[in-house]
């Protein structure tokens, strides 16, 4: 029998206990022995939970119990979760987490600590919820140079953007609905300002660069709070959807780049039909070409699915190397300055200004996408971020990133 | 340094050598040491290949070389590949393969042999080419009961069906074009008759059932050679695409089921936009919900990407358990008889016969999908395969499977 402990009995922590109970037979078949939740550490009591008698308030019950081989950290945040993770790893217990903030912030140190103590620090659930993405990226695509990642990695913002389009709601109305449905927090900043996506992109980029750690602070991030219903309606006109994308690129000889921003995504893209709380990540490797991973990026049981998958991995081979190469801090920033990253954008300006648009952007490759009574718009290819604002204001226009 | 050998220098074998050469730095970073192709076994010479001096015609050069830790089998077929795989595993060398026929036919024995000799038999490339699917299915989704798999797993047939629609070609014309482009063999039977898809479904089903081996012979298989341009045009009318699907289902308390057949796939399905030689596999787990994996299902470098990913896995941990639980033969068939499997179909009959259709299928849930001057059609839900032919001929109709 393998004994584990769960730290933090919130939505995901409860999901982990539930999945282990629900699929105990199948999990035992995988593992060759039973998987048992021995302790659940939380400051609260849960008298009505079927797992009430596993609750403890004493962290020493977990960390001093030699029978506990794997610790699930579903506390969230980078404070108490950080301290507890260090304690568990120092005690030689593998830690499995869904905590993107902690992995993105302290991953380098925690992976090192796991290695030093002959155990694992696993985080498949930290990106894409239940969608297998961390292990496929690092293990299945290990033979590739990763050229590009483009992901819808935040379900809350995708739900809001989808709802603005389908129900014709303003951003504020759509946010309120998302909050009412429990898809957005009362303080929605981490989602709508792109911070959650930034952390996930930090994780994906660090893996794609074979462990060169890309800190969240390196990743220029724009959220969705400035997206208007007019943007959404215009996207529909030009056969696009508006999506908040996390972009990593390592296509040429320059530095790799990473940023988070709202995009017009062309309907023909595999990302365009990804609606509501679903997530999807496109990964392009230099051998495999483009692959995509799609599913529920959040939620109790989907996230628990990924956590428990990692628990099985850690139980089977506690002393093996973790499934990703450990990260390491590099001197200075790993990725290019935002100003120096090239991108494609769609610029729109008032009706009748197509000539002016073509004129002002004449040194770029452009393509007209709309010339109507309401406005006109062009795609501008390969423009540096630092050149965007000045040029766009010279035509009194608005712009968003564009992905084909 | 890790030394490997490649058996069979065809398209995929050459791709493996090419990927290892192309990405040697990144691969060495993953592995912590250099990965070197030491021998390539083939009956032919390749004087113009950059790998010409690695070619040997003597299998003993490979099997008696203690430096060779991993053997890549890209011969294909289940004869000489089977003998060589047994020799390699018996010598304690891990084997990595893209050979779905061999895995589907002799996987049980070869996995046992690997285990007995402390090495691995890995086959990520056998399904979906470069798309990560085997490892995600078994490792990342290990906490789930797998309820359903629906996959476009054969690129040749998907190319033909796509081309019939976009270019208005007959099946025979589209097949000829596919052959001219190298997407179909001169004897196309393994692809167009669904045999390749059947083998891949045998592999996916055996993994989904935690190692209960589903033999290819259990899987009722219909190919695409009877699909007409009329079927394709009708699909477009009713907002569907025609796709050859490999279906595994384990939804209820009955036996699991598995079959391969052409389907009308509704446009809203994630599988509908998968065009040309691309593959995609939907996997539904009872915790994670629906996930999808998409990419190039065949081709030199994509398939080599998966093979070399497995080579790295086998090099890192040759004595670890393979990434899937070993399979075992069960008494009798594992899956339900085809006749006893329920499915959804679309039945179409001559114009004006809607009343007759509703009458003949009155004991089923049905939904009208078309009532035009050319024909009329209904969806019939949850019909047993054994009841289809009689009922459809009673309305003088045609039918295909249907997936929403």
- DSSP states of B139-152: IITTTSPEEEEEEE
Residue A322 has pLDDT above 70, yes or no: no
Q: Is B326 on the interface with A (CB under 8 A)?
A: no
How many Å apart are CA B233 and CA B237, to the nearest integer? 6
Residue A195 has pLDDT above 70, yes or no: yes
Split at pLDDT 50, 70, 90, the class of A319 is: low
pLDDT of residue A318: 67
Among B226, B264, B247, smallest CA distance to B380 is for B264
Mean pLDDT of A226-237: 97
Option in B29, B142, B286 nearest A30 (CB) = B142
Among B263, B265, B264, B271, smallest CA distance to B290 is for B271
pLDDT of residue B27: 95
Residue percentage of chain A with pLDDT more than 70: 98
pLDDT of residue A6: 98
Residue percentage of chain A with pLDDT more than 90: 93
Residue A68 has pLDDT above 90, yes or no: yes
Residue A253 has pLDDT above 80, yes or no: no
Nearest C-alpha of chain B: how many angstroms from A29?
7
Q: In B, which residues are within 8 Å of A301 by CB distance?
A: 287-289
Q: In B, which residues are within 8 Å of A288 by CB distance?
A: 130-131, 295-296, 301-302, 305-306
Mean pLDDT of A140-156: 96
How many Å apart are CA A134 and CA A121, to the nearest integer? 13
Answering whether pTM is above 0.90, one says yes
Option in B144, B292, B321 nearest A305 (CB) = B144
Q: Tell me how crowded residue A180 is: count the other CB atoms within 10 A of its CB.
A: 9
Split at pLDDT 50, 70, 90, the class of A290 is: very high
How many Å apart are CA B272 and CA A11, to the nearest integer? 34
Structure tokens at A41: 């550490």
How many Å apart are CA B158 and CA B197, to the nearest integer? 11
Any residues with CB less than 8 A from the CB of A130 and at least 6 apart, and which?
A295, A296, A297, A299, A301, A302, A303, A304, A305, A306, B285, B287, B288, B289, B291
Q: Strand, coil or helix: what is B288?
A: coil
Mean pLDDT of A120-138: 95
Average pLDDT, chain A: 95
- Which ipTM value was assigned to this complex? 0.94
Give the A window 74-93 contacts with B, CB below 8 Å. Answer: none
How many Å apart are CA B72 and CA B98, to the nearest integer? 9
Residue A181 has pLDDT above 70, yes or no: yes
pLDDT of residue A316: 83
Give the A window 115-144 contacts with B, CB below 8 Å. Answer: 124, 130-132, 135-136, 139-144
Mean pLDDT of A190-201: 98
Any residues with CB less than 8 A from the CB of B318 and at least 6 apart, and which?
B69, B70, B94, B118, B119, B120
How many Å apart are CA B151 and CA B158, to the nearest integer? 11
Q: Strand, coil or helix: what is B161?
A: helix
pLDDT of residue B218: 96
- Spell out, as residue ranges, where chain B has pLDDT lower than 70: 318-324
Range list of H helices, B331-384: 354-360
As a whole number of Å, the CA-based R_g of chain A is 23
């Amino acid at each position: 029998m393998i004994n584990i402990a769960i730290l933090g009995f919130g939505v995901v922590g409860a999901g982990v206990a539930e999945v282990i109970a629900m699929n105990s037979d199948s999990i035992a078949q995988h593992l060759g022995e039973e998987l048992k939740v021995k302790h659940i550490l939380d400051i609260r009591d849960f008298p009505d939970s079927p797992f009430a008698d596993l609750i403890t308030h004493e962290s020493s019950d977990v960390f001093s119990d030699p029978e506990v081989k794997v610790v699930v950290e579903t506390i969230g945040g980078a404070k108490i979760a950080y301290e507890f993770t260090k304690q568990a790893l120092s005690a030689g217990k593998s830690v499995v987490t869904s905590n993107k903030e902690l992995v993105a912030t302290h991953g380098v140190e925690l992976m090192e600590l796991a290695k030093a103590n002959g155990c694992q620090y696993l985080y498949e659930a930290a990106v894409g919820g239940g969608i297998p993405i961390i292990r496929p990226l690092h293990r299945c695509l290990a033979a590739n140079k990763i050229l590009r990642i483009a992901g819808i990695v935040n379900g809350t913002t995708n739900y809001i953007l989808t709802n603005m389009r389908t129900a014709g709601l303003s951003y504020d109305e759509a946010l309120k609905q998302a909050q009412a449905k429990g898809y957005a927090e009362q303080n929605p900043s981490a989602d709508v300002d792109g911070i959650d996506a930034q952390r996930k992109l930090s994780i994906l980029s660090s893996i794609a660069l074979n462990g060169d750690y890309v800190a969240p602070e390196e990743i220029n991030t724009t959220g969705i709070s400035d997206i208007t219903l007019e943007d959404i309606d215009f996207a529909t006109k030009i056969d696009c959807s508006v999506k908040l994308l996390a972009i990593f690129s390592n296509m040429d000889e320059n530095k790799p780049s990473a940023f988070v921003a709202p995009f017009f995504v062309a309907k023909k893209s595999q990302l365009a039909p990804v609606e509501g709380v679903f997530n999807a990540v496109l990964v392009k490797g230099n051998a495999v070409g483009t692959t995509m991973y799609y599913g529920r990026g959040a939620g109790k049981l989907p996230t628990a699915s990924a956590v428990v998958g990692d628990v099985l991995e850690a139980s089977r081979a506690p002393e093996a190397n973790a499934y990703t190469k450990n990260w390491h801090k590099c001197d200075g920033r790993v990725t290019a300055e935002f100003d120096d990253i090239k991108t494609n954008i769609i610029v729109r300006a008032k009706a009748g200004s197509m000539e002016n648009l073509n004129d002002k952007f004449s040194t770029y490759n452009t393509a007209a996408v709309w010339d109507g009574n309401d406005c006109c718009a062009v795609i501008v290819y390969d423009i540096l971020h630092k050149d965007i604002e000045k040029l766009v204001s010279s035509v009194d226009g608005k712009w968003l990133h564009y992905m084909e």
